[in-house]
Amino acid sequence: MKSNNIIHKVQTLQKEIHSREIKYGFNVPYKAWREAYITDESEPGKEPSFKCSGKPKTIYSGRFCAVSGFIFAIVNGKYSLLANLRGPGTPDYQGCWNAPCGYLENCENSKQGIQREIFEECAFIIDTKDIKIVDVETEPEECNNGNVTIRHRAFLGKINPFVIKQYTGGEENEVDAIKWIPVDDIEKYNWAFNHKTVIKKYAPNKFVRKFLELIYRLVSLNKEYSGE
């Protein structure tokens, strides 16, 4: 029964993502400015220019928007973070761990974007209602490749660490492993980007973590004692 429920969640999320892609797939940024390409076949390799409606405008290149998700939970009695190991198919930091992250697509808001990245990279489904935007980093030197980064956080309480392994990995060879890493152990891992610093920023201090671990342990013991 539990397996069927998880498969249903996977199928539902896949349909939602697909429906957004269909709805917004042709919503091209600056569409009013890009009526037609002007190309000169006599000059192979020449960069295309654009014919603009009204007064001609310059179309500037900008910065991409990335999303990252720092998802915490009590897993096996430890206050832990959901992370994945970057595989050889990633453009950088191969062999390092990171919190789920990626680029925001034109068919989604930031919470939907990080929900999709978490699903693609970690085979884990999280409700967007549980996700909070905690920071928007715009300083170029603080963002990988100069991206604007929208950071998200969630605490899910005590969960079962079960994942659906056949759905792991959004792109070929992108994810080598998935793990709930205890926050107490993050120094034992090599982290991509500046994620180790960000984890320390968004995770509660050690006293709070140990208190929450104790609370959820007592709740579990109470349930076992009462036969729930």
Q: What are the residue ranges spanned by the domains of the chain?
A: 2-51, 65-223
Which run of H or E residues covers position 152?
Answer: strand 148-158
d(CA 138, CA 76): 36
- Cβ–Cβ < 8 Å for 81, 183: yes
Q: Which 3 state secondary structure label does DSSP give 40?
A: coil
Query: Cα separation of 216 and 74, whole Å?
Result: 8
pLDDT at 206: 96
Give the fold, CATH level 3, of 65-223. Answer: Nucleoside Triphosphate Pyrophosphohydrolase (3.90.79)
**Burial (Cβ within 10 Å: 0-12, 13-18, ≥19) of residue 35:** exposed
d(CA 173, CA 207): 38
pLDDT along the chain (228 residues), means of 10: 77 86 58 45 56 46 85 95 92 93 90 94 91 90 80 93 55 84 97 94 96 89 58
What integer pLDDT is reported at residue 6 of this predicted model? 81
CA angle 212, 162, 198 (to 5 degrees): 50
* CA–CA separation, 186 and 226 (whole Å): 36
Paired with 86 in beta bridges are: 175
Q: Beta partners for 148?
A: 65
Distance from C-alpha of 206 to C-alpha of 211, rounded to nearest angstrom = 8
Q: Which two tokens stand for residue 91?
A: 């453009």
